[in-house]
Structure 1
């Protein structure tokens, strides 16, 4: 995840930049009776609008894309058991998706429905860098030759290239691939839970670790259950976002919670293993002891498929965010270019893939911890933007609005905000250094773009070109009617 954090808002004055005062509509006249084509005054008209509805995301693919943005399967949940024991792990994965995921999902749903452009709050590019390396690590168990040296580097590069091309073929393709990957990676855990039922011993769920590692416990929960807002960067590609987004987010919250709870309950309820045995990859061992080696191998294969789905979903978010930033005039216009055949943001995909490739060779733990820290910064800004728009722009059209008064919205955001601050406070000094470096880099790019815009070195969108064309046509039409 990068430091490319931005609030929804105009890039220039005159486009609704004065958010403290609601705009007033002029009195209607007989010649002003037809609906105006003016877009939402808070955001500029995108220069990169898709050419048709063929590649629009529908409900089912969006559900699985959100699922892969957040979880992608229960892989990686095992350290929560080692850190605090079975009882607290179950409580964490039962409560956290709702205490944390529901507020973030509601905020995302309202903003995505009200401002359905390809504009995001943060980039998942840095976070995506962990997945090619993780995928190669799993493959090394089957083919040890790719476990180190040039073979490993080549495998990581090849994985990036192949998965980036899949993203290039279109978001609807990626969405349905996510559906297939989700079914294939979750199926062995459903079987594992079903086969475990006759042998369950519920009392084993009540055990608590003697020496608790709270930093590991909360970082594990946070890593496995964040990124609910990442799909908002693709809101402009969703069919009827005002209804599709809230429904997809609601289903995804329940689906995510169950995908962690069922395998954990099965493994901890059948096996009499100490919490310390639950390290990364223990789900595969648990499945082997419950059902046999065939299920163990299936779960290991599912881990690779899950990694692919996670990579695809988050690369899409990063690429569409770059395109949205070009719409806002924060990046040069060429970032908004779409591929001629697939209608995808090929410049954003290419740049994101190169960044991911470079970061993939960092330590997996360093990538994860830094992504958590930067994500916390981005989410604090997102909650602030949500509350500010609710207070300063009550007139903004919101096809979906969180049904709460403003004081209740503040309380709803305070709970996850407190957790975000906690995650940042417990970060190690190494994470602080890495995160600070990415933040400084992001600020430097911002001022570099401002310099290029002022000097005319590159072409930027002011976000008003398309809108002025529409309004000019409307004025000409009105003039003809009056004559």
Structure 2
């Protein structure tokens, strides 16, 4: 496998893996990309309820007001700069590889991919949790297991039909799933008692900081996952920053407005604020019709979340294949839809296996692995600024190195907190997966040396200044 030596030329940046080459494929435009990012991160206020259960209304509201500034915005800024500087499928894999070499790129890819498939497994479960409120037969046993299995397979087939179909569907799903919350918030206005927002929770109820932090983190992270599809975006150097900005604003408002409406209008036992309580609150505020509408919206939101994140995982695998981290057959595209069908199939099978885990363990394990990947991502961002100071960056975070360090240190401290408060089972699961990721890197190198599989040369160049 030959090596191509590239120099740091501001007019010819080392940012063009095979996936970034000009093709005839129909590319994602701004509006579908905004809603894909939105579904990568949130998909609506479904799932924010445990923050109130864990720490009371005031801290939940403050969490969703403050956390975007210390986490979401820095992560979105890093994604905007690096996605426009290196606009190819693979995203953060490319960034870590350019910064620290192939081992870091492979490890980043494994951490983020495992995070993705673990996270995807949560969405069919959330959909069934809402459906069981309408159809109790799905509450347990074989009907629940079959519902999760069949919904996962069906949604994967939809993903196979193409990224543009998924993007257009995301727009519709986003509008329909958010509409009942807007209606509920408007109806709730006369019923709101502002003093309820100041409650720190019921007396005698111990705060669950693990649940609180993980709920905030799980609801407001994954801004960088859309970077794995950068090679499929029309004019990514201009489209990505605009889409990320719009998605950040949309996501923050979609969380905080319904949360303030419900906490201000409904007074219930704190323990009732479990996942799905928004639908119950809607019935209290307006009636059963709104409850049913929100439950339907929850299912549609879960579909959007599943489709967006499965797309990211699949195109990450495609990008890693094009970069030479995975065998060539991992990047095979469908002749009919031009989608990476092998990557979609592999991701679906892993998701089906993970879906048998407890939901709480799914969220915590995904957060832990994602934290490891994000620490490496922030380090890659800072090192690339130092390593290639003259590299063309169509969007550049307007800070010098000291400011960038501070911007990355604040969310990094939060990542460390996430990891410190993890449970033993999360340490075990995440540790085993990390060991597996390291072994996978050496296994792939061994396969290359023995020529057991064909690998692409793309992206495995040496960068020099």
TM-score relative to the length of structure 2:
0.90
Paired residue secondary structure (1:295): helix
Q: 1:80 aligns with which of 45, 51, 70?
A: 51
- 1:157 partnered with 2:149: yes
Q: Distance in 2 between matches of 1:44 and 1:458?
A: 24
- CA deviation after TM superposition for structure 1 residue 278, in Å: 1.6
Q: Which has the higher helix share?
A: 2
Q: Deviations over 1:322-346 (max 9, x none)?
A: 0110111110111222111211111
Number of the residue aligned with 2:233: 238
- CA deviation after TM superposition for structure 1 residue 166, in Å: 0.9
Q: Deviations over 1:404-443 (max 9, x none)?
A: 1111111100100000011001101110001111112222
Superposition pairs of residues 156-195 of structure 1, within 5 angstroms: 156-195=148-187
Number of the residue aligned with 2:458: 463
Number of the residue aligned with 2:352: 357
Q: 1:158 to 1:353 in 2, by over 3 A?
A: same
Q: Distance in 2 between matches of 1:48 and 1:337?
A: 16
Superposition pairs of residues 402-413 of structure 1, within 5 angstroms: 402-413=397-408
Q: Distance in 2 between matches of 1:193 and 1:458?
A: 56
Q: Distance in 1 between matches of 2:378 and 2:248?
A: 19
Q: Distance in 1 between matches of 2:70 and 2:400?
A: 19
Q: Distance in 2 between matches of 1:383 and 1:319?
A: 23
- CA deviation after TM superposition for structure 1 residue 282, in Å: 1.3
Q: Distance in 1 between matches of 2:282 and 2:349?
A: 37
Q: Distance in 2 between matches of 1:195 and 1:12?
A: 65
- CA deviation after TM superposition for structure 1 residue 172, in Å: 1.0
Superposition pairs of residues 49-60 of structure 1, within 5 angstroms: 51-54=23-26, 56-60=27-31
Number of the residue aligned with 1:94: 65
Q: 1:50 to 1:127 in 2, by over 3 A?
A: farther
Q: Deviations over 1:62-93 (max 9, x none)?
A: 11111111111111111111222111111110
Q: Tell me if the contact between 2:19 and 2:88 (Cα under 8 Å) persists in the aligned partners.
A: no
- 1:126 partnered with 2:118: yes
Q: 1:45 aligns with which of 14, 17, 20?
A: 17
Q: Distance in 1 between matches of 2:352 and 2:50?
A: 27
Q: 1:278 to 1:140 in 2, by over 3 A?
A: closer
- CA deviation after TM superposition for structure 1 residue 153, in Å: 2.7
Number of the residue aligned with 2:139: 147
Larger Rg over CA atoms: 1
Q: Deviations over 1:133-162 (max 9, x none)?
A: 222232233333333333333222211211
Superposition pairs of residues 287-306 of structure 1, within 5 angstroms: 287-306=282-301
Q: Distance in 1 between matches of 2:31 and 2:8?
A: 38
- CA deviation after TM superposition for structure 1 residue 465, in Å: 10
- CA deviation after TM superposition for structure 1 residue 40, in Å: 3.7
Q: Distance in 1 between matches of 2:169 and 2:392?
A: 34
- 1:203 partnered with 2:195: yes
Superposition pairs of residues 3-402 of structure 1, within 5 angstroms: 14-16=4-6, 23=8, 40-41=13-14, 43=15, 45-46=17-18, 51-54=23-26, 56-121=27-92, 122-123=112-113, 124-209=116-201, 210=203, 211-402=206-397
How many correspondences in the alignment? Answer: 437
Q: Distance in 2 between matches of 1:176 and 1:150?
A: 34
Q: Deviations over 1:354-399 (max 9, x none)?
A: 1111111111111111000000000001001100000010121111
Paired residue secondary structure (1:137): helix
Q: Tell me if the contact between 1:139 and 1:304 (Cα under 8 Å) persists in the aligned partners.
A: yes
Of 433-442 and 406-415, deviating more is 433-442
Q: Tell me if the contact between 1:98 and 1:253 (Cα under 8 Å) persists in the aligned partners.
A: no
Paired residue secondary structure (2:90): coil
Paired residue secondary structure (1:129): helix
Q: Distance in 2 between matches of 1:346 and 1:167?
A: 9
Q: Which runs of 5+ in 1 are unaligned?
A: 1-10, 17-21, 26-34, 467-483
Of 279-288 and 269-278, deviating more is 269-278
- CA deviation after TM superposition for structure 1 residue 163, in Å: 0.6
Q: Deviations over 1:223-252 (max 9, x none)?
A: 111101111111111111111111111111
- CA deviation after TM superposition for structure 1 residue 24, in Å: 6.5
- CA deviation after TM superposition for structure 1 residue 14, in Å: 4.4
Q: Which runs of 5+ in 2 are unaligned?
A: 93-111
TM-score relative to the length of structure 1:
0.87
Q: 1:269 to 1:320 in 2, by over 3 A?
A: same
Q: 1:23 to 1:196 in 2, by over 3 A?
A: closer
Number of the residue aligned with 1:437: 432
Q: Tell me if the contact between 2:323 and 2:460 (Cα under 8 Å) persists in the aligned partners.
A: no
